[in-house]
Chain A
């Protein structure tokens, strides 16, 4: 891969996904693109990229983008957030919503561990939750839908009791039981696109460790999109070290709950 190839990859990731591909990732990029080149029938990475630059094909472009995103996730990552959700938020929401129906969005769900952890937390709290996982990467979503995890993945963040309750062994993998899979729906979404006008709103949004990998100039747009998908007084969970831009009036932090923000009512903001 030439330095010029890497420059163009940076631009591609930035314009399509808002993703900041830092220069120290050049070796990682080369390593990750190898399998993509083989899968797509190219001799090597350079041949694939030169084809992409000369006649851009959308599907190839997205395959390249997907391979370079950061897929890292695990069950109950930053577990305090899940404890706040099942111990405090869900009991209140279940009382407030007709039929106890609560809608939760895992925005940037990668391979699905977060969305499934949300489903477990909802069950624990006795909430009839509708959980939607969304991600840019089709390959990550395929894995999420299959609910199939390696021994390393299944044990990272999940107790043995939870593992036995929600998963069953499948050769040397563990697969989500039907009840768990049925509790979550996965769909492709670009969080930087304008949501469709009829897109439903959520009571709670988990969007963690997405902002950190984004170009700072795109973060406001992400926050704006999240705000539009959240009901008034709805809750947004960011990563424990992430926060909206300082001048955001849409979200206010919750004291003592790292990474948790509440959406200020739209009407109140208009009046202000």
Chain B
């Protein structure tokens, strides 16, 4: 797990729960690009390199948003998503698929497996921001 050590922002002396987004992608470059955008939206970011790593992360603590690649080694995104939704509180995180797949059938498959929305790569900050707004996470 690649936990960041940035401080949780607090306001008026009351501690505020950090809004955490877990970025799940086997490409370090994609994770880095996505991290920069998502941090700009006010989230603290953690990263996982495959579905199995992401699942063990979520078993410990549910993030608010999961940005999820499809094709990854060990466990793919769709398998992760189905298992996540079976976990206690596993329906809580907003899951945004974020993948190169752009066929309508694949998009529909991801949505029916419980994804809240779907981002086709390539994406930019404006697309990602509008998707976060769409799922009510921005």
A and B assemble together: yes
The chain A residues found within 8 Å of chain B, CB to CB, are 74, 79, 151-152, 155-161, 163-164, 168-169
Question: Are A152's CB and B111's CB within 8 A?
Answer: no
Question: Are B127's CB and A152's CB within 8 A?
Answer: yes
Taking CB atoms, residues of chain A closer than 8 Å to B134 are: 159
Question: Are A152's CB and B124's CB within 8 A?
Answer: yes
Residue B120 contacts which of A74, A155, A168 (CB distance < 8 angstroms)? Answer: A155
Question: Are A157's CB and B130's CB within 8 A?
Answer: yes
Question: Are B103's CB and A169's CB within 8 A?
Answer: yes
Question: Are B102's CB and A169's CB within 8 A?
Answer: yes
Interface size bracket, B side? 10 to 19
A164 to B102, CA, bound (A): 11
A79 to B122, CA, bound (A): 24
Given A151-B120, A155-B119: A161 and B111 interface contact (C-beta under 8 Å):
yes
Which has the most chain B C-beta neighbours within 10 Å: A160, A168, A169?
A160
Given A79-B133, A151-B122: A156 and B127 interface contact (C-beta under 8 Å):
yes
A77 closest partner in B (C-beta)? B130
Taking CB atoms, residues of chain B closer than 8 Å to A159 are: 117, 131, 134
Question: Are B107's CB and A152's CB within 8 A?
Answer: no
1/0 contact string of B110-130 vs chain A (CB within 8 Å): 010000011110111011001
A164 closest partner in B (C-beta)? B104
Residue A160 contacts which of B111, B122, B123, B126 (CB distance < 8 angstroms)? Answer: B111
The chain B residues found within 8 Å of chain A, CB to CB, are 102-104, 107-108, 111, 117-120, 122-124, 126-127, 130-131, 133-134
Given A160-B107, A161-B111, A169-B104: A155 and B133 interface contact (C-beta under 8 Å):
no
Taking CB atoms, residues of chain B closer than 8 Å to A74 are: 126, 130
Question: Are B131's CB and A155's CB within 8 A?
Answer: yes
A242 to B131, CA, bound (A): 25
A152 to B130, CA, bound (A): 11
Question: Are B107's CB and A164's CB within 8 A?
Answer: yes
Question: Are A152's CB and B108's CB within 8 A?
Answer: no
Given A156-B126, A159-B117: A151 and B131 interface contact (C-beta under 8 Å):
no
Residue B117 contacts which of A79, A160, A168 (CB distance < 8 angstroms)? Answer: A160
Question: Are A156's CB and B107's CB within 8 A?
Answer: no
A161 to B126, CA, bound (A): 18
Taking CB atoms, residues of chain A closer than 8 Å to B120 are: 151, 155
A168 to B107, CA, bound (A): 12
A156 to B123, CA, bound (A): 9
9 CB-based A-B contacts, threshold 8 Å: A74-B126, A74-B130, A152-B123, A152-B127, A155-B130, A159-B117, A159-B134, A160-B119, A161-B117
A213 to B103, CA, bound (A): 38
- Distance (Å) between the CB of B66 and the closest chain A CB? 15
A121 to B104, CA, bound (A): 22
Taking CB atoms, residues of chain A closer than 8 Å to B127 are: 152, 155-156
Taking CB atoms, residues of chain B closer than 8 Å to A160 are: 107, 111, 117-119
- Distance (Å) between the CB of B17 and the closest chain A CB? 26
Taking CB atoms, residues of chain B closer than 8 Å to A169 are: 102-104
A163 to B127, CA, bound (A): 13
A161 to B97, CA, bound (A): 13
Taking CB atoms, residues of chain A closer than 8 Å to B122 are: 151-152
Taking CB atoms, residues of chain A closer than 8 Å to B108 are: 164
Name 19 extra pairs, CB < 8 A, besides A152-B124, A155-B119, A159-B134: A74-B130, A79-B133, A151-B102, A151-B122, A152-B126, A155-B123, A155-B127, A155-B130, A156-B126, A156-B130, A157-B130, A159-B117, A160-B107, A160-B119, A161-B111, A161-B117, A163-B107, A169-B102, A169-B103
Taking CB atoms, residues of chain A closer than 8 Å to B111 are: 160-161
- The 4 tightest CB contacts between A and B, nearest first, are A160-B118, A155-B127, A159-B134, A157-B130
